[in-house]
Structure 1
Amino acid sequence: MKVKLLPLQVFSLLDEVDRRLLCLSARAEAKSLPFLTGLSKSAVYRRLARLRSLGFDGEGVYLPFASIDHTLKLLEKPILVISREGCVYIPDNCDFRCHSCPLYGQHMRALTKALPDVCSCLWPPDIVKALQGRILERLGRGFEVEF
């Protein structure tokens, strides 16, 4: 599964309908989305085009980054996981007290299915930290940007 890093401010532009539309678009064709969401056909296609322009283009794990003092910093939250098996959104205001979270099972199931070889962790924050470690390791070897 692909992991995509997006600017933090992009996540603040998503609302509940956008997240639901992204999740449904991973499972169903675009022409059936108006029936599933209750939105008009043109509204669905406009929203999907806007989401694509923001960087949300299909299945994957979307993580935020921020530019702080001319350096890029990977952030732990919010996290968006989109897959055919299920979708998870861990919001910015999550305090990662997973033992008391009613969504713990859903979050763990989606994260372990999306990222099976990252680590055998018991808590979502540990999976995110392990994933960040892998990303930083790969970025440390350099990366390429095409224009």
Structure 2
Amino acid sequence: MDQRVKPAPHEIRRARTDNPKTRERDLAAQLGISEAELVAAHCGDGVVLIEPRVNDLLTGLEAVGEVMALTRNESAVHEKIGVYDKVVTGNHNAMVLGENIDLRIFPKVWAHGFAVEKRDGDEIRRSLQFFDAAGEAVHKVH
């Protein structure tokens, strides 16, 4: 069992500033926290906590236009660029059956959600990020 004390939010933000090129997943692991905890430490500073209402989100994303859908685990990264269309919602499962983005989603797994804005020079990159109850990323929309 890991006996480390979790870092305070200001320590997490400092670690992010000190390691700007490190992926969130990797930095969280280095700090001994979940990726959701890393993102949550930035609430009020480019990050807003949102409810992970999967069905509402999926039906509204088509209006956003072309985005990148991202799902990953330890073994694989799945990135697709396209539009969230042909959405089928449900309480047990939901689907996106578009030409480029084809997903099967289990809404009950989505426990935490964040709207994220990151500055990269003059550019602002926006994403929606969703995590399970353990803080593991389940899906991101960039």
Structure 1 length-normalised TM: 0.27
More helix by share: 1
Structure 2 length-normalised TM: 0.27
More strand by share: 2
